[in-house]
Every structure is written in structure tokens, then in C-alpha cells.
Structure 1
Amino acid sequence: MKTTGGSDEAKRRAGESAAALVESGTTVGLGTGSTAAHAIRRLGERVAAGAEIVGVPTSFQSRELAREVGIPIRTLDEVDGIDLAIDGADQVAAFDLVKGGGAAHAREKVIDSFAERFVVVVDPSKQVDVLSHPVPVEVLPDAHTTIARAVRDAGGDPTLRRAERKDGPVVTDNGNLLLDCEFGEITDAAALARTLAAVPGVVEHGLFVDMADEIHVGTAEGVTVSER
């Protein structure tokens, strides 16, 4: 369930602001989504100008865009580390995030957590005081019914994400299904993250708690940056 809102100009400002942090010789985690795409395109321009940048994509989408703009790409197994990860979010409250609108949050969480520095790029429509966006939960296909019951027991309302322009559910790059779980206002994101992670059959949930190092918010006037 992709989120909408925010101007393309604001997204571009945020993405390019984060891309400006990347130095030649850097290995970069390449996030998924429309705002992260602006960062990838700018990094492609840097590579074309002679910068030595290696990208580690978080999804099929980001991998294809990186190839299109000429960024050399590697898998996580092929690099010794990630210097900086740039990724978007569906909702941001302080330094806690909900991600997974692009169905890539399992790989995003691995790469973003592995990075020395995790920079989030968003437009103002994604900022809130308290997280309330439905939490995407990637699940093993055979377990989606039992996991849905566990989500209801935890106070959530799960919905199997359906594909657009095709019959059936969304299938992730990992071959799994997605439950979008509505919890209302999430006043204790860390506790909910622990609850979801403990359910057998859950591959990964979309709560990124206390992971971000910087938040770059693109606006009509420029970019505001929040750092830890």
C-alpha cells in the first residue's frame, strides 16, 4: 500500500540533499520509493562525472534504476560494509519510521541497519507526532492466516495486500505475502515491534524503531535536516 502526498519537488530536494552526503569511494544502500529514486538518479550523475560509488539495492525497483543511471551494484554478500544508506519512509515520528509501502521493508531493514549511517528522505506529508500508518508485515505464505489472528490478538486489524492490475495478493521480492496491519496511534513503537517480531512466520515488520541517524525533509523552500 503505497503512500501518496507531497510534491515531487519536495521529494527531489530531500533525495538530492542526502545524495550530497555521499563521497567518492563510498558504498551506498539504495532505498526504494519515489523519494529515494531522486537520490539514486543524482548518484548516477555523480558516477557519470567520475565519482566511484557502489550501490547495494534494497529491491528489484532500486536495482533496475541504479542500472539505468549507471551505478555499479553489488549484493550485500559482495561488500565488506555499507557506509551510508538512503531510504524513504511512509511515516516518520521523531526517529521512528513505518516503512513497507513498496513491499521492500525486509531487505531495506537489513541494509539500513547494516549501514554506518542511515539517512531518511521524506516530504512533509510523511511527518507526524505519533505513528499511525498501517504497519506492513511480510509473512510466509502458509502462515498468513495464523499470523493475522496473532495480529488481531495484539489489537491490530490485518488486511492482505492485494496486487494492482492483477488478480491475487502482492508477492514480495522474497516470495512472501504482506499483511497491512492497522493499529491506530502507535504510542509504543518499540513494544509493538517486539510483539510482531515474536510471531512465528513473520519475516519482517515495517516498524523501524530508533534506526535513523538523519531525517532530510524536502520542502518548497529547501531541506530541513534533523540529526541525532
Structure 2
Amino acid sequence: MHTTNTYLDFTRSNQLRAKFNALIPGGSHTYSKGDDQWPEFAAPYIARGKGCHVWDIDGNEFIEYGMGLRSVTLGHGYEPVVEAVKKQLPHGSNFVRPAAIELECAEQFLSMISGAEMVKFGKNGSDATTAAVKLARAYTGRDLIAICGDHPFFSIDDWFIGTTKINAGIPSAISDLTLKFSYNQIESVQALFEAHPGQIACVLLEAERWRPPTDQFLQQLKDLCHK
């Protein structure tokens, strides 16, 4: 997040901070948005956004690199999206049974993804990765999960959070089922498979983060998983 202001006034934000933290654990309903996750001069409380720009409740303007935790790729208040939402709202939303628009969306999505046969929409990345873990365990009949220890986040659910420092309340019987390997080090993955033969259900990682794959790491990883 980058500010376009030469002077930042957080008067209103500072007045609200105590109330936020008194009523909402961590001061935010999303952990990654909490005060302890941001530097001192980041925008405390956002009032509105347009494109990649946001304004806090004190009127300070910022360029928001994060863009809705990386999900708002079109920018805030993108007119075609706003108009589509306006058009749909009078018809209602979130019914107890599927709506026809869900099929339309699935068809359009699948038309753009080569090789995909079906699609299941989730509300966030945690739901998606946890669903993948459950599917892998159900299909393989195995319990262990291997994750890349160099990548910081996979899910809010116990199978991952139990491996982090904020693991209070998660039994070791759960966290012990998640193993870690190192990115670009195929030997670390091989060591896990050798130490736990026939027990690993799936391997999770980001294809690339701050370091690109080297020595055909991703292909080697795929080959190893398919053995």
C-alpha cells in the first residue's frame, strides 16, 4: 500500500481504533487486515475505493497494492461489474437452491480453462485448498499432507494453521499430519516420500512466488507424485 499524500492525518482512525479492538478480536474480521499485520502508516480504516486507489476515513489517499487480498483484479468500483450487480440485485441473491446464473457462470468459466471438466466455486482460497486436501485424502485413503514450508499461507483451517505459530487450540494429532519440504529442493520432497511410504495424500505449493523454479523442479515434483 502506497500513499499519494505528503501528510497523513489519522485523527478519526485513531479515535476508532480502541473501539474496533474492543468489539472485534484483533480489530478486524479478517486476520490479515488487523493492525498487527500492517506497518504504522498504512491506511487504518478504508472508506471507499476506485480503481487501484482507496481513501481512508480521514481522507488520506493510497494506492492499494493488495486489492482485496489480491482478488480485486479489475479494481474497485469497476463500472461493468457495478452495473451487473445492480441489474441482478432486484432479483434477489443467495437462494436456498441453485440459480440459473450459476450454470451460466460455470459454462463461461470452463470455456476459458483448457482441460477443466467441472468447476466448484468457493468463497476463498482456504475453502479451495481444504477441499483439495479432503478430496486427496478421500481418494488415496492416506492422511499425510506435504506442503512447501517456504510459502507462507495455504488455509485458515487446522491442517495448515496447526503448523504455524498461531496454532493454539489445534491438537498435535492434527498438525502432525502436515509435513514440510523446501522449494526448489526435490531432495527434500523425496525424503518425505521415503520416510512416509504410501502415506502422503497430496503435495501443496505455489508454482512460483519470489523465486522461480530451477532445474525442472515442478516437473520433477510432478513425476515424483505420479510414481
- Structure with the higher helix share, 1 or 2: 2
Structure number with bigger Rg: 2
Q: Give the TM-score normalised by the residue count of structure 1.
A: 0.27
Task: Looking at secondary structure, tell me which structure has more strand per residue.
Answer: 1
